[in-house]
């Protein structure tokens, strides 16, 4: 197992649920991240789906004690470079391209590449990846599908993301090939808009309790 894989696993094993955030207002990033960390969720994925994303990553990386800021929805080398420059400690992609693999090889920051089929998993294993994002989890076959991959593709670990909630997270977390899940339910848009940070800390604590 490579040093980068070790680094990635050490981040993903911090908690059972990695919050997947879409941040519209960079000003909310720091209080939101502090609320999540207070609930036990230290590794935080901020997706590059909004113009505020890079500023949000930079703020969380610099200002939130205990937070491990990561960047999600990375689609190409340029975004990878921007996310690393902003302070991302891990990079997440919904799928995988050779361009992403090549840029990841040039950096110490680990990549969690996306895969949804056995062939994609096998291709990533050939590139030296043992830890992947299973996306979109529910739409791609859910926990039953992922369980069926555990025997033929033994030794591969997944962070399923997409359609996962408090109601079905345990279905994934009990699988032998799942290290954690990604979820947006811990930071609902209405609570963020209202600035209900205590409410988000409560949701984060519920998610962290899934570890048991």
Tell me, what CATH number does 46's domain have?
Answer: 3.20.20.70
Q: What is the mean pLDDT of residues 10-34?
A: 98
In a domain, 51, yes or no: yes
Model pLDDT for residues 34-83, shown as the tens digit of each residue: 999 999 999 999 999 999 999 999 999 999 999 999 999 999 999 999 99
Half-sphere exposure of 210 (CA within 13 A, CB side): 28
In a domain, 67, yes or no: yes
β pairing state of 111-112 and 114-115 = unpaired
Phi, psi of 72 (to 5 degrees): -115, 175
What's the rounded Cα separation, in Å, for the pair 54 and 207?
26
Catalytic residue among 7, 45, 55, 120: 45
In a domain, 66, yes or no: yes
Question: What is the pLDDT of the chain when averaged over all its residues?
Answer: 97
Q: Is 133 a catalytic residue?
A: yes
Q: What is the pLDDT of residue 211?
A: 82
In a domain, 210, yes or no: no
In a domain, 191, yes or no: yes
Task: At 9, list the tokens.
Answer: 């696993």
Indicate the pLDDT class of residue 124, thresholds 50, 70 and 90. very high
In a domain, 209, yes or no: no
Domain that holds residue 77: 3-204
In a domain, 126, yes or no: yes
Indicate the pLDDT class of residue 212, thresholds 50, 70 and 90. low
Omega before residue 106 within 30° of 0, cis: no
What's the rounded Cα separation, in Å, for the pair 50 and 56?
10
Q: What is the pLDDT of residue 190?
A: 97
Q: What is the mean pLDDT of residues 124-141?
A: 97
Quickly tell me which residue has 């050939």 as its tokens.
126
Helix (H) or strand (E) holding 3: helix 3-12
Q: Closest by alpha carbon to 26, among 111, 78, 86?
A: 86
Catalytic residue among 133, 147, 189, 202: 133
Considering its fold, how many domains does the chain have in total?
1
- pTM of the predicted model as reported, rounded to 2 decimal places: 0.97
Share of the chain above pLDDT 70, in %: 99
CB 83 within 8 Å of CB 48: yes
In a domain, 212, yes or no: no
Q: Is 45 a catalytic residue?
A: yes
């Amino acid at each position: 197992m490579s040093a980068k894989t070790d680094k990635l696993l050490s981040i993903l094993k911090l908690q059972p649920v990695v919050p997947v955030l879409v941040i519209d207002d960079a000003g909310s990033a720091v209080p939101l991240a502090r609320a999540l960390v207070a609930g036990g969720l230290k590794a935080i994925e901020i997706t590059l789906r909004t113009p505020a994303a890079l500023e949000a990553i930079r703020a969380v990386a610099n200002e939130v004690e205990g937070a491990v800021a990561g960047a999600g929805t990375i689609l190409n080398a340029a975004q990878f470079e921007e996310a690393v420059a902003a302070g991302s400690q891990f990079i997440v992609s919904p799928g995988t391209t050779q361009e992403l693999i090549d840029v990841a090889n040039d950096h110490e920051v680990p990549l969690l590449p996306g895969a949804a089929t056995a062939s994609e998993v096998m291709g990533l294993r050939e590139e030296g990846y043992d830890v992947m994002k299973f996306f979109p989890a529910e739409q791609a076959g859910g926990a039953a599908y992922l369980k069926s991959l555990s025997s033929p593709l033994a030794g591969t670990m997944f962070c399923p993301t997409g359609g996962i909630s408090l109601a079905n997270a345990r279905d994934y977390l009990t699988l032998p090939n799942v290290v954690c899940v990604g979820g947006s339910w811990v930071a609902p848009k209405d609570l963020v808009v209202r600035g209900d940070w205590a409410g988000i800390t409560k949701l984060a604590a519920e998610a962290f309790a899934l570890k048991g």
